[in-house]
Amino acid sequence: MEVVNQGQPIRLENRSADAAGKRIGRFVTIDAIKAIASQLILLHHFANYGPMTDAAWNYAPRAFKWIANDGRLAVQCFLVVAGFLAAGAMLPGGAKRWTPPAMSMLPKIVLQRYLRLAKTYFVGLAAAIACAAIARALIDDPSTPAAPTWQSLAAHLLFAQDLLGIPALTAGAWYIAIDFQLYALLALICVGSGTAARNASSAKIAAISVVGALGLCSLTVFNRHDELDMWGIYFFGSYSLGMAARGASQADGTRKWAWLAAIALVCTLALTVQWRTRIAVSTLIAFLLAARGAHRTIKPGTLTEAIAFLSRISFPLFVLHYPALMLVGSLVKIGWGDAALPSAIGLVAAWGLAMAAAHVLACWLEVRNGS
């Protein structure tokens, strides 16, 4: 994740180095959350879309029903983790002195976030368009997206398809747009606080206060209106819980308990106003990150390395699993029709193809980013 502060790029990675430049570990809790959540989102879409789902459903109806209905809750994990990481890059915290970015830096901060998302997302979008074209030529399935128009393609490139009421060309496109909106909103808060405040100390208080107030409004008001779910403000409550978890993870003693008490109070209020399972999930993830978010692995092991791998490919997997599902689903459909066993095998094959493609994309991105 890259942002700009006072004209200098800040690079926030899920790893650290000691004074000698040696790697000392990864944020294992963040890795685990991203690894599990990305697999749940993949399974959620596999259980809801494509011609193989109905046929394979009979092999594990309870599991399919649960993942089809509740698997989408994994998105809350991504929102809270995104807020946690964004706070580390943009908000004051820890022992380091915080200097708010200048107003002139806002366009560059927003552009950097756009490009960071776009590099991965556009590959997935291109794959989805190509695989959808193959699927439409082979089979007739209602879950296959229509061919893109110039207008729909432009809207997707600008992360504005939902705002304009344009059908998505791939599953998960809405989340990319929401992530971009949330980060841009946080950048605006930080820049605005620095511009309005007299000094860095006042700007720090203003930024944290605005984030807290807006997060509370989102949790108690905006998130209760589903017609707002194409706007970042609908999800800002979960995002802000991740930011609060970041503050708690960096605090000790009384300050840490104060952060935890604030998170508990706000979430209790939000769930009292209206129970929402998605907010309950966000609350649990926030407490987990508050307790263990700053914990790093010390010694590599088979399990931690596997979790790190799944975390590293989580975003590429998010954008590539639906194209893989469409491609494999259309081939299975024309070869075996609605036969249950080939459909079940096809879902496993689609998962394997998506994992392999995500790994290749992650490696390519690392080479491009010089990491």
Q: What DSSP assignment string belongs to 112-143? A: HHHHHHHHHHHHHHHHHHHHHHHHHHH---TT
**pLDDT exceeds cutoff 90 at 289:** yes
Rounded CA gap, 346 and 334, in Å? 12
Q: Which pLDDT score is estimated for 175?
A: 96
For residue 119, give Cα distances in angstroms to 122, 171, 177, 309.
Answer: 6, 17, 14, 19
Residue 197: per-residue pLDDT: 80
Cα separation of 316 and 327, whole Å? 17
Distance CA 91, CA 68 (A): 36
Q: How confident is the model at residue 59 (pLDDT cuts 50, 70, 90)?
A: confident
More confident residue, 83 or 18: 83
Q: In this structure, what is the dihedral angle of CA atoms 145, 343, 351, 53, given to the nearest 10 degrees? A: 50
Tell me the pLDDT band of 301, cut-offs 50, 70 and 90: confident
Which tens digit of pLDDT belongs to each residue from 111-123?
999 999 999 999 9
> Is the pLDDT at 80 greater than 70, yes or no?
yes
Element spanning 5, H or E: strand 2-5
Asked if the model's pLDDT at residue 36 lies above 80, the reply is yes
Domain with 109, as residue range(s), is 2-369
Helices within 197-231 (DSSP H only): 200-220
**Element of type H or E holding 157:** helix 150-157
Rounded CA-CA distance 34/308 in Å is: 9
Render pLDDT for 126-155 as a digit per residue (tens, 0 to 9).
999 999 999 999 999 998 999 999 999 999
Q: How far apart are CA 232 and CA 218, in angstroms?
A: 9
Q: Domain total for the chain?
A: 1
SS3 23: strand
Q: Which amino acid is at 286?
A: A
Query: Within 13 Å of residue 273, how many CA atoms lie on the same side as its CB?
Result: 17
pLDDT attached to residue 5: 37
Please state the pTM of the whole predicted model.
0.90
* Distant-in-sequence contacts of 305-311, Cβ < 8 A, 24+ apart: 307/28, 307/31, 307/32, 307/35, 308/26, 308/31, 309/359, 310/31, 310/34, 310/35, 310/38, 310/39, 311/14, 311/26, 311/30, 311/31, 311/32, 311/34, 311/35
